[in-house]
Amino acid sequence: MGAGGRMSDPSEGKNILERVPIDPPFTLSDLKKAIPAHCFERSVIRSSYYVVHDLIVAYVFYFLANTYIPLLPTPWAYLAWPVYWFCQASILTGLWVIGHECGHHAYSDYQLIDDIVGFVLHSALFTPYFSWKYSHRNHHANTNSLDNDEVYIPKRKAKVAVYSKLLNNPPGRVFTLVFRLTLGFPLYLLTNISGKKYGRFANHFDPLSPIFTERERIQVVISDIGILAVLYATKLLVEAKGAAWVTCMYLIPVLGVHMFFVLITYLHHTHLSLPHYDSSEWNWIRGALSTIDRDFGFLNRVFHDVTHTHVLHHLISYIPHYHAKEARDAIKPVLGEFYKIDRTPIFKAMWREAKECIYIEPDEDSEHKGTYWYHKM
């Protein structure tokens, strides 16, 4: 995964680990003016086309696996199942991304349609739609703020846990990556791990959680009902088809969706070139610019381009995915050196970030004492 070295604009010829500047000479209004007007248009018909397309592809994968893998000799079946899991998880991640667009009101001009589609898609993929929508919106409002961001808040040097030092070796990094990819999203939803520190326990299923405002609490309950409904449907499937069938056909692909989602967001927000800010230095546009695009190769298209249009997404989150590349290319000249895309192959990038991005500290000789950068152990 990842193109590993293509250069389509001058910024990619520079050292990819070179730090981004922190004081943009442009405004959000300047960026919006550079984008063609049609890129802001949301079409319920066009958006729905992608939902239907992905559902058809997902059904084809299901049909082929359910029909033909049981007919294969045992050794070949052991090879065929991982192929199915990868393919199905990939296309379902595309559906998850569309649900994420619904949360940003990028699916249509109608909030109710967006919420209905997003609720169904995310619930089916074991994601509490409204709960995640609101915490994710807080993340966009406070990106890379050490005090107020909702997720991927790095540790300062003095607070690096002892176990992090013990895991600072190749086997430890493998364990850390596997743990993050498999349990990171469920633990974030259940315990707010790696998220903002509140005065008390916070999770995404408690309507009284400090993550949410008073007006959001009823919709958190609706999210919980959606997850309970999917759990009940899964129970009925297990009774009808057996636990092994449900696990292979549905649960493992959904776990794959969560793994892809964590991998994508981890790489978007973890890079040696990206700053974090405390309250003395943070402002919205600084935070929004402190992200990086990534190249997942052919999966870019499967994931509806969420992987390599993330900088644009943090600046203007309501542009639908089918306009995102054009809008990204339109603002590149304005962004200049403030835009970065890292085309390092994904597995190599995962390893590098796990090794190099351990804690954050400000530069000792910098006048920006509230600006923090990643350092390795």
* DSSP secondary structure string for all residues of 207-235: TT-TTS-GGGHHHHHHHHHHHHHHHHHHH
The pLDDT score that the predictor gives to residue 180 is 94
C-alpha dist (Å) from residue 278 to 15, 153, 181, 265: 26, 11, 28, 21
The average confidence (pLDDT) of the chain is 94
244-270 pLDDT, tens digit each: 999 999 999 999 999 999 999 999 999
C-alpha dist (Å) from residue 277 to 236, 271, 281, 297: 48, 15, 6, 31
Query: In the block, which residue shows the tokens 């639908």?
Result: 320
- b/e burial code for range 275-295 (CB count within 10 A of at least 16 → b): bbbeeebbeebbbbbbbbbbb
Q: Is the pLDDT of residue 3 over 60?
A: no
Judging by beta carbons within 10 Å of its beta carbon (0-12, 13-18, 19+), is residue 333 exposed, middle or buried?
exposed
Output the six-digit token pair for 285. 């546009």
320-343 pLDDT, tens digit each: 999 999 999 999 999 999 999 999
Cα angle 353-267-6, degrees, rounded to a multiple of 5: 95
* Residues facing 372 on adjacent strands: 276
The rounded percent of the chain whose pLDDT value lies above 90 is 86
What whole-number distance in Å separates Cα of residue 275 and Cα of residue 362? Answer: 9
93-120 pLDDT, tens digit each: 999 999 999 999 999 999 999 999 999 9
Q: What average pLDDT score do residues 6-25 get?
A: 72
193-238 pLDDT, tens digit each: 888 889 899 999 999 999 999 999 999 999 999 999 999 999 999 9
